[in-house]
Chain A
């Protein structure tokens, strides 16, 4: 099959039968070097035969270019005289440095006579054949060429000329083209050609594909599950008062989890308008934990260490039962950062407030959430959290890791519910998300959930779920 450029050369030769590589290059508009390699391909395919000859050619010298521009000195002399006699000195002034050349060539060609210091022209005008040849060296006869050589106006050079002769007519359907265009399709002209084959088995060049982030997608999936279970999503801020992070959740002010190395503190104090709520919480703390509860501690600001703070804010709004609410967000805890620990991670907190909600109902909700997350096997372990009673930890079975603790949960303590005036039962839970995500995304280093390597992110496989 013929390439587009091969075809172009053959169709050009179909009319001329023979041409040089230079002619082809000039007419078709392809560099001569490319033409030579295409001709070689055509010769191998038996379409043309080639003959390589050496050819003399001439180029103008610097003086030649100058004379071509302004004329030969003898021509200027004759045309300046315009049939009148003139003193040699006068002419010397006009012709300046060309004076000698002009006089000597004009005499040699018999165009002038010199008598008593005067130049007498024999013709009125004159254009020398050498001058005409300067503009058209290819057409010049040998004598003129020799003369120009002698006068140093041209220089002889030699080059290879490839003569190409067509020996087999091309047929149109033999021509292959790379690209279709609109005109070819509409006119039907495409039928005349063959579309060239590609090396379709070769790999393509690099291509960036945009995708959603794998871990964000997992988080969104978790949200979807909660929505499908009938829960309403809420969100609150990262900067929180100790009141919502701890006090409202029945965590005494000297509880170890409130020590300086267990949560990040932020300068400043918050404010709580609900004085009744503050007072209820103070009373309950002082009654059960037997210490002096301090308001300036409860108003201190921190980065929330649990999304249960969001649940606490919901409770503080004294919602009417029934309620099913969840939040999924970042929490912050000081820790040494390594393959299994970060200082910020996600929690899924949820709460169900309902008149007849029981501990077994809570276990049922947890079982369903984990089932939909893909954990089919779970077990329950008694646990301790300041804000729930009974409290339970959920262990899930992961193929690679075995039984893994996944969730803390329980019924909210009556002390908490009474402080916000809720008379129904309420179950709540908090699920750490990163460990689950690591398992489902098959990631062994938690830091990879937040990789800052673009190539890693680009290469991550998409999960079908």
Chain B
């Protein structure tokens, strides 16, 4: 989700509707409106609708829904004498340019539009970077995109003296943020005039030379990046929205220095997408005629015509989100309005079924309550230092050290819980059931969730039998006549710990917690714990069915 802030009055004035109507229409275009202050509103735009990132794009879409303008928006496009020579730039090989004349824009909004495109399709300028210049200040008709050494000098935007590119990297905020994206082998990509003067070093910063101001109406736009598709789409969206503001789009010749093939930009990519009437009906589950389908497509500012029963949709350059027939169907649904589509009554004729482990877990929880343990529920993530084994999953990019690993047993989880409840009324008898993650080389990830049930008693005095008795009868209630085999490990006191065995397989462990472990958790009272492997138990019970 991307948000833009717009002047409410300017926007409402463009489309001549009230605020409530605006909110309703935008809601149906996947967007939500929040007031910021008296005159500004914040609009949430979905990441697929890049064409809505400016007030002009929003106006274009809304005029369609209001049926003030239907079908593709028509913009003036003329040829110009400008040429972009694209040299071999290794870190971001693709570049296109365009000019726009006589566009009446709000400078602040244009900068916001540029930044939002940088953040979305531009992937924080890694994939695409945009330079917008005041055309009046561009001195030559031929512009070159090439690599320049870092000793190259120019005055960066909002600067007052010439700096080398190296200095810009070191000293400016932009240089620090974006320098590492494009600089390699001691050179930087640059947009330069014929006379060698720098207009911008994408994706870092423009030159102060062609700085925009409130009076700028003619623009030179360069877009560079690592994906030709994304570069072309970005340029199409920018010129379309400037044209929506009254501008005339000017084509720039694009020359590849390497193979001298010539083309021009913006591409203003149009795609033909056929849409089948029965497909629309089948997907949406509605009755609708071809003509109605076409009408809805036109309302969504795309062209539509019907030829020999085939609905042909012309997808204009600003609708980069339309990939396939299904995307047009969604637009039809949006034009109809989702809330005008009556939900079909849901009727179920079959029975559902629980995952078997859910049923076993439920019984074990009930028996835990019956045995007098209060159920608790803790996080799956935990601080690695609290874990008692070395086989846990560590998170490579944790948000906080408190939660930098995945629990591999519920014992440390419950000990951590007890440590926080030493001033509560005693005895503390608690249990938790839940998933832990353990290594398992037989799975495709090498890990497996394992369902456990862990019980603990903390009291002024407590012993092995206090926990063994309830656990024994919980298991007996499940039909498992278990035995106990002394098993010593560092968690429990030697000679006071056992594995719980059924049919020669270990179903869990039980014992009095070693005071060394208690101290590690800051626990001052004797504690006994049992951990059962529900996954194992479920397997046994399942086999016995």
Contact = CB atoms under 8 A, between A and B. Distances in A.
A414 B398 contact: no
A272 B344 contact: no
17 contacts: A208-B429, A210-B429, A211-B374, A213-B376, A216-B375, A227-B354, A230-B349, A232-B352, A235-B357, A235-B358, A256-B120, A264-B395, A324-B352, A389-B329, A390-B329, A450-B377, A452-B417
Interface string B334-352: 1000110111111011111
Given A216-B377, A358-B283, A384 B47 contact: yes
Nearest to A326: B352
Nearest to B458: A454
Contacts of A383: 30, 46
Interface in A243-282: 254, 256, 260-261, 264-268, 270-273
Nearest to B323: A288
A216 B430 CA distance: 14
Interface stretch (A102-110, A130-138, A179-187, A329-337): A329-337
Interface stretch (A13-21, A23-31, A36-44, A364-372): A364-372
B433 to A, nearest CB: 8
Interface residues of B, number: 93
A240 B397 CA distance: 16
B517 interface: no
Given A290-B229, A344-B379, A364-B346, A382 B396 contact: no
Interface in A341-372: 342-344, 356, 358-361, 363-368
Given A237-B437, A270-B445, A359-B341, 18 more contacts: A208-B372, A208-B429, A215-B377, A216-B377, A239-B393, A239-B406, A239-B437, A239-B447, A264-B396, A270-B444, A288-B324, A332-B380, A343-B399, A390-B330, A414-B326, A452-B416, A453-B420, A458-B374
Interface in B425-451: 425, 427-430, 435, 437, 443-449
Contact of B343 (A227, A288, A366, A449): A366
Nearest to B47: A384
A301 interface: yes
Task: Report which residue of B323, B343, B449 has the largest number of chain A beta carbons within 10 angstroms of its beta carbon.
Answer: B343
Contacts, number: 249
Interface of B: 27-30, 46-49, 120, 123, 126-127, 227, 229, 282-286, 321, 323-327, 329-330, 333-334, 338-339, 341-346, 348-355, 357-358, 362, 365-366, 368-381, 393-400, 403, 406, 416-417, 420-421, 424-425, 427-430, 435, 437, 443-449
B466 to A, nearest CB: 15
B122 to A, nearest CB: 11
A206 B425 contact: yes
Task: Report which residue of B324, B330, B346, B449 has the largest number of chain A beta carbons within 10 angstroms of its beta carbon.
Answer: B346
Nearest to A266: B393
Contact of B333 (A230, A288, A366, A382): A382
Contacts of B377: 213, 215-216, 449-450
Interface in A208-244: 208, 210-213, 215-216, 220, 223, 226-241
Q: Ordered nearest first, which 7 A-B pairs have the shortest CB separation? A: A358-B285, A227-B352, A230-B348, A363-B343, A390-B330, A360-B285, A380-B338
A267 to B, nearest CB: 6
Contact of A268 (B48, B286, B330, B446): B446
B216 to A, nearest CB: 31
Contacts of B395: 264-266, 303
Contact of B372 (A210, A220, A366): A210
Contacts of B351: 227, 230
Given A233-B354, A390-B330, A267 B282 contact: no
Contact of A384 (B49, B333, B355): B49
Contact of A233 (B355, B420, B425): B355
Contact of A381 (B338, B369, B427): B338
Contacts of A337: 399-400
Contact of A344 (B227, B341, B380): B380
Given A358-B285, A365-B346, A227 B353 contact: yes
A392 interface: yes
Given A220-B362, A330-B435, A267 B396 contact: yes
A455 interface: yes
Interface string A398-438: 00000000000001011100000000010000000000000
Nearest to B403: A343
Contacts of A208: 372, 374, 425, 427, 429
A360 B354 contact: no
A334 B6 CA distance: 30
A307 to B, nearest CB: 13
A34 to B, nearest CB: 30
Interface of A: 206, 208, 210-213, 215-216, 220, 223, 226-241, 254, 256, 260-261, 264-268, 270-273, 288, 290-291, 301, 303, 324, 330, 332, 334-337, 342-344, 356, 358-361, 363-368, 379-384, 389-392, 411, 413-415, 425, 449-450, 452-455, 457-458
Contacts of A330: 380, 435
Given A210-B373, A210-B429, A267-B394, A384 B444 contact: no
A230 B341 contact: no
A414 B327 CA distance: 10
B445 A384 contact: no
B398 to A, nearest CB: 7
Contacts of A211: 369, 374-375
B35 to A, nearest CB: 15
B462 to A, nearest CB: 15
B396 to A, nearest CB: 5
Contacts of A367: 343, 346
Given A212-B365, A270-B444, A360-B286, A230 B350 contact: yes
Nearest to A335: B399
Contacts of A227: 351-354
A409 to B, nearest CB: 11
Nearest to A414: B326
A157 B120 CA distance: 104
A368 B445 contact: no
